[in-house]
Amino acid sequence: MDKGLLKENLEQIDAYLKQEGISRRDAMKMMGLGGAAMMMGSGAATEAKASSSSAKGKILIVGGGLSGVATAALLARSLDNPDITILEPNPKSVSYQPGQTLVGSGVWSKEDTVYETADFMPDGVKWIQEKAVEFNPDNNTVKTSGGKEIKYDYMVVATGLVLDYGGIAGLEEVGDVYSLDAADAAKAKKILGKNGLCSIYFAEGAADTWTQMQEFVAAAKSGKKVKGLFPEPHTAFKCGGAQKKMVNLTNARLVEAGARDNAELSFVTNGKKLFGVPEYHDSITRQMKERGVSTTFSHKLKAIDVANKVASFEKHWEEKGEWDNVLEEFAMVKKTENIDMPYDFCHLIPPQKAPKEIADSPIGSDKGWVPVNKETLQHVKYPNVFALGDVAAIPLGKTGGSARKQYKVVAENLIATMEGKKELAAKYDGYTVCPLITDIGKVMLAEFKWDPKDNSKAIAAPSFPLDPAQERWIYWLLKVYLLKPMTQYGMLSGRA
């Protein structure tokens, strides 16, 4: 990162905050960015204090992405004599996936998001570059792809999830993809990243998305009438705001080129809302309308005809059926209809699922995800097992912002378990943040958590004393210049 550019933008942030009556220090505290971001801004190294525990035990962390490495770092700082092993095959597992929307729109390059895990592995933590292939929680063992059997006393599961491109008819050849796996990327690139079809959900795909977007914009600029399609999957997926960001960034590039009038942009979702928090839903609805983006609900993506550039959806709804004299109400009848939508440019978010090794194991669930107490993040059956990040069966939990809150809860509760405590004091409150890019230079910082009165609902949880539904330039600076170093030098060191 260019230090001069960072300094210049921090000065602009200061001016903005001063106008709003907030100091940068107070703002960073409210945002929870911790010592790393403060150090980047002022040179004052403020470091979060780690408690010290003499508890002992072999800790195995399965998965060395952001969640796994951050947990290992905090545990290593919190235990007097840590014995921690990370099981992770990918040498680039901690790369900055939240930046892939910026890569896909030409704001960043792929090199801005990809870096070496070895550079961030905590001191004293053993790293085995193999994959977990078999779990035996009754005997506290895990088998690896290299034939090792690892014995543990405590285990943290942070494997992330699998991109299920093969779950869409027409993309069976792509199959399952891990975001940063080189072999998976090579397989996916045979189909994705060409002929208008692209996906930012793997690093190579993000770079190819920018190429496809440029071709789409160029076609519109030439006078051709073009269609851009942005479907969401029917499964849970990481970064619920990603497709909204992509349609907004595509719109911005079309406007920049003076070609917006020649492009039809369509956002299609399987759900019934654009966001689960009412004020964010209303704001996004207004933004889509202002930008001339059509929105279609209750449409499940079923297939992609790659050659003919057509996406097929199952439209679903309910109608009143016969009257039930006993219940004194009408029966509701489910209806479906197949809908085809042609496209010139289609940004694809694939269905997503838990890794097979997790789903088929005793630590998995019927839906694949690791079942945990959603507040303590402790496994519902095995008290010496914890899970966090994308693989955990937690509402609202599949974002980097969630993981930044979760890893602290896991570390504290794991140590409490090691110390023999019955009650686990640390609680995850469902906090999630989505820096929703609305334009190049504007972001709506959608922060939310579970409603304490009804955990099935989400409520806004803003850190700044500003309207959270308002798109702002300051949040663009936060997204583009501060969140990455905060993640690299704060979260991955267990300090933010």
Query: Where along the chain do its domains lie?
Result: 58-162+354-430, 164-352
pLDDT at residue 26, rounded to an integer: 55
pLDDT at residue 51, rounded to an integer: 66
CA dihedral 470, 473, 475, 478 (to 10 degrees): 180
How many Å separate Cα 135 from the centre of its chain? 25
Output phi, psi for 48, to 5 deg: -65, 140
Q: Which amino acid is at 181?
A: D
pLDDT at residue 120, rounded to an integer: 95
pLDDT at residue 326, rounded to an integer: 83
Q: Classify residue 123 as exposed, middle or buried by CB count within 10 Å of its CB (0-12, 13-18, 19+).
A: exposed
Q: In a 3-state reduction of DSSP, which class is residue 265?
A: strand
pLDDT at residue 34, rounded to an integer: 39
15 pLDDT above the threshold of 70: no
Token pair 């959603």 is found at 374
Enter the DSSP assignment of 389. G
Helix axes of 3-20 and 34-42: crossing angle, nearest 10 degrees: 100
Quick one: pLDDT band at residue 489, thresholds 50, 70, 90? confident
CATH topology of domain 58-162+354-430: FAD/NAD(P)-binding domain (3.50.50)
Same fold across 58-162+354-430 and 164-352: yes
pLDDT at residue 454, rounded to an integer: 82
Q: What is the pLDDT of residues 222-274, one digit of tens each?
A: 999 999 999 999 999 999 999 999 999 999 999 999 999 999 999 999 999 99
4 pLDDT above the threshold of 70: no
pLDDT at residue 354, rounded to an integer: 97
Angle at 401 between CA 10 and CA 426, to 5 degrees: 120
Contacts of 462 (CB under 8 A, 6+ apart): 445, 447, 468
Q: How many helices (H) and strands (E) in the chain?
A: 13, 22
Closest by CA position to 315, among listed 333, 329, 297, 292? 297
How many Å separate Cα 346 from the centre of its chain? 20
77 pLDDT above the threshold of 50: yes
pLDDT at residue 452, rounded to an integer: 85
Tokens of 211: 């190429």
Average pLDDT over residues 174-178: 95
**Stated pTM of the model:** 0.89
pLDDT at residue 45, rounded to an integer: 32
pLDDT at residue 332, rounded to an integer: 86
> Can you give the C-alpha Rg of the chain in angstroms?
23
pLDDT at residue 1, rounded to an integer: 39
d(CA 340, CA 308): 11
Average pLDDT over residues 445-450: 93
Q: What is the pLDDT of residues 121-137, one digit of tens each?
A: 999 999 999 999 999 99
Asked if 63 and 159 touch (Cβ cutoff 8 Å), the reply is yes
Q: What is the pLDDT of residues 319-342, one digit of tens each?
A: 888 888 888 888 889 999 999 999
DSSP code per residue over 30-81? HHT-HHHHHHHHHS----PPPP-B----EEEEE--SHHHHHHHHHHHHHBSS
Closest by CA position to 211, among listed 309, 110, 326? 110
**Percent with pLDDT over 70 in the chain:** 90
More reliable by pLDDT, 308 or 240: 308
Average pLDDT over residues 401-417: 96
Q: Out of 3.40.50.2300, 3.40.50.300, 3.60.21.10, 3.50.50.100, select the CATH number for domain 164-352.
A: 3.50.50.100
Mean pLDDT of the chain: 90
5 pLDDT above the threshold of 70: no
Q: What is the pLDDT of residues 18-52, one digit of tens each?
A: 655 556 555 554 444 433 333 233 333 334 445 68
pLDDT at residue 11, rounded to an integer: 62
pLDDT at residue 49, rounded to an integer: 47
pLDDT at residue 12, rounded to an integer: 57
Point out the residues that are catalytic: 239, 434
d(CA 464, CA 26): 9
